């Protein structure tokens, strides 16, 4: 897994609430093993029924192409637990999703795929969203996992919290199996001490 230490770049403002995983990656993109998940990311918001691109939608604007940070509304990633939703976010180039009350399954899937999910309280979330909207793709922001800090496009700094083990896994680029292997010596010692004699 790719380690996550920090990310800096333009942040995409997406203040919509209750965006579910079927919206994030529509089911038609789940039927083909070779589907373009970046193209499928929020496809029905980005394209009209006839397939023409909605050039005014935030993801279609040139300044937000390959932006590494996504600032979302409340309850982003709700609905089913499909991991494809995070794969689509990642395929678009996003390494960090910041919101208020991100959906639990979405958070878990982010952590398994080296995408940093950051949850902020309502007041700080609203403040950051306003900064990102006002910046409108003209100023970078930074998310620093080492120090658990966000530097907004206006230069303000706020901290965030993350579980210590989840933080370590992201910083070191480890999944659950690799984390287990890190403790292999202790596991083997425990097994030797607790072997049942035959």
Domain residue ranges of the chain, discontinuous segments joined by +:
6-193
For 51, which DSSP code?
Answer: S
Read off the pLDDT of each residue in 66-92 and give the average, rounded to a whole number: 96
Is the pLDDT at 12 greater than 80? The verdict is: yes
C-alpha distances in Å from residue 141, one per residue of 64, 77, 110, 144, 166: 13, 23, 20, 10, 22
Q: What's the pLDDT tens digit per position in 40-76?
A: 999 999 998 888 999 999 999 999 998 999 999 999 9
The CATH number of 6-193, from 1.25.10.10, 3.20.19.10, 3.90.1330.10, 3.40.250.10, is 3.20.19.10
What is the pLDDT, as a whole number, of residue 198? 46
Q: What's the pLDDT tens digit per position in 115-170?
A: 999 999 999 999 999 999 999 999 999 999 999 999 999 999 999 999 999 999 99
For 29, which DSSP code?
Answer: G
Contact yes or no for 109/52 (Cβ under 8 A): no
| pTM, to two decimals | 0.90
38 closest CA partner among 56, 64, 17 = 64
What is the pLDDT, as a whole number, of residue 189? 85
What's the mean per-residue pLDDT of the chain? Answer: 93
Task: Annotate 101-152 with DSSP letters as a single string.
Answer: S--HHHHHHHHHTT-EEEE--HHHHHHHHHHHHHHTTSS-EEEETTTTEEE-
What is the pLDDT, as a whole number, of residue 196? 59
Q: What does R_g of the chain's alpha carbons equal in angstroms?
A: 19
């Amino acid at each position: 897994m790719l380690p996550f230490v920090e990310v800096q770049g333009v942040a995409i403002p997406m203040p919509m609430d209750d965006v579910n995983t079927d919206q994030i990656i529509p089911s038609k993109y789940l039927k083909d093993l070779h589907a373009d998940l970046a193209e499928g990311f929020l496809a029905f918001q980005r394209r009209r029924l006839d397939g023409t691109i909605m050039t005014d939608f935030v993801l279609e604007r040139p300044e937000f192409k390959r932006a590494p940070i996504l600032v979302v509304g409340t309850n982003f990633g709700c609905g089913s637990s499909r991991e494809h939703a995070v794969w689509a976010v990642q395929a678009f180039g996003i390494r960090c999703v910041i919101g208020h009350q991100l959906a639990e399954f979405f958070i878990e899937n982010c952590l398994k795929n080296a995408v940093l999910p950051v949850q902020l309280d309502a007041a700080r979330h609203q403040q950051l969203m306003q900064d990102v909207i006002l910046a409108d793709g003209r100023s970078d922001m930074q998310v620093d996992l080492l120090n658990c800090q966000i530097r907004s496009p206006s230069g303000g700094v706020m901290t965030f919290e993350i579980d210590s083990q989840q933080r370590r896994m992201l910083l070191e680029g480890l999944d659950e199996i690799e984390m287990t292997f890190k403790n292999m010596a202790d596991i083997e010692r425990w097994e030797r001490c607790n072997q049942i004699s035959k």
